[in-house]
Structure 1
Amino acid sequence: MEEIINIPLLFAENTVLETTRLRLRPLRMTDAKDMYEYASDEETTRYVFQQHRNLADTQFAIANYFMAEPLGKYAIEEKKSSKMIGTIDLRVDATYGRGELGYTLNKAYWGQGIMPEAAFALLVLGFDKMKLVSINAYHNLENAKSGRVMEKIGMKKVTEIKSSRLWKGELIDEALYMITAADWQKRTM
């Protein structure tokens, strides 16, 4: 008989994850100001979500997306400043044993290895504790920086999908990246 992994329980037991520089934790309404700082920036939000026009948009997103169903969704907090600088989530399809990463980071923190550090913590959770078969991520082909994050954590590009979805009224092309449990076991990170 195969072991049944209780994904919600594992997320509930791992609501806070620590790395060298970061604390991944549940979002709170008190994060609204920090989130609005980057969520109102067109460059930061261009490929991931609609730019927030005001603090109320940010409060709505926190309450309705991050707090309404919090499991697997994390604020990225810089330990040294206690500032919330981004978000990352792992959405799991337990039926097929796979997960999907999504993330956003305040552009003031780009290029410092923060997102790979945060993503690696979720790969540890997904593969070592949840025993997932694979974890994937998508990025708009125009957003090469996101693809570099995926490569840094050991993901490989599987394919490019032309006209894969509508985004802000336009058809966009995306790249699909993936890391399998077998690749994870062979990692050198």
Structure 2
Amino acid sequence: MINKQAINELSELESERLYFRKIGPQDAEDIYSLRSQETTMRYMDSKYHQSLKDSEAFIQDNLSIQTKGEGMFFAIIEKESGAFVGDFVFWKIDDRHHRADIGYMLKPDFWGKGFMQETMKTLLAYAFDEVGIHSIEANVNPENGNSSRALLKIGFEKEAYFKENYYFEGKYLDSEIFSLLERNFIR
């Protein structure tokens, strides 16, 4: 059974270099700067945020999902500088099957520094140990090799490759599906 209390009462987690906290309205400008750029959105199948209002609505939608116990949406904060590094989300948390999907994004200034590995190790451990998740899925654009490599490093396995799996802005996109069982998680 999924521990919804662990989802709803979560305040803050930390790793060696990072803090992770529930995303909130105070993060709208950072979410906008992250989700309004081609550099960070090029592998996504969602629209760029056109305004701060888009980011505010995005945050509210995700907080609503978290309140229902169906997701967790984290701000990733660098301890040393206090800078917003990116976001990480568990969504489609399934109480019956003890599974969830993940999504994540980092600001380009923080790429290549091991922050996503550190984030995944901390947040996936929380999902497995406290929330009661058994399996996690990630859906990745095949052109995003960095994301695929990050998943493989902590034990995810590539399960499938779907051709033309999504229709977005006038074209079909392929997707790779990765999964991780709790017992295969490299801590």
TM-score (normalizing by structure 1)? 0.87
Partner residue of 1:53?
Answer: 50
8 Å CA contact 1:90–1:122 kept in 2: the answer is: no
Question: Is 1:119 equivalent to 2:115 in the alignment?
Answer: no
Distance 2:77 2:158 in 1: 28
Match of 1:38 in 2: 34
Show CA shifts across 1:73-111 (max 9, x none): 111111122222211111211211112111111111111
Aligned to 1:28: 24
8 Å CA contact retained: 1:25, 1:76: yes
CA RMSD of superposed structures (Å): 1.7
Q: Distance in 2 between matches of 1:36 and 1:130?
A: 29
Tell me by how many angstroms 1:181 deviates. Answer: 2.2
- Distance change in 2, residues 1:57/1:132 (3 Å): closer
1:31-80 CA-to-partner distances (Å, cap 9, x unmatched) read 122222222211101122321222222222222x2333335111111112
C-alpha displacement at 1:140, in angstroms? 0.7
Q: Report the CA distance shift for 1:6/1:141 in structure 2 as closer, same or farther (over 3 A).
A: closer
Contact 1:35 1:85 in 2 (8 A): no
**Correspondence list, 1:1-189, <5 A:** 5-48=1-44, 49-63=46-60, 65-70=61-66, 71-91=71-91, 92-184=93-185, 187=186, 189=187
Q: Matches of 2:183 and 2:6 in 1, distance apart?
A: 21
Alpha-carbon separation, structure 1, partners of 2:8 and 2:47: 29
CA 128–83 in structure 1, closer or farther in 2 if over 3 Å, else same: same
Q: Which runs of 5+ in 2 are unaligned?
A: none
Task: List per-residue Cα deviations over 1:8-35 (Å, max 9, x = no partner).
Answer: 2111233321111111111222212222
**Unaligned stretches of 5+ in structure 1?**
none
Percent of residue pairs identical? 30
Is the Cα contact below 8 Å between 2:135 and 2:181 reproduced in 1? yes
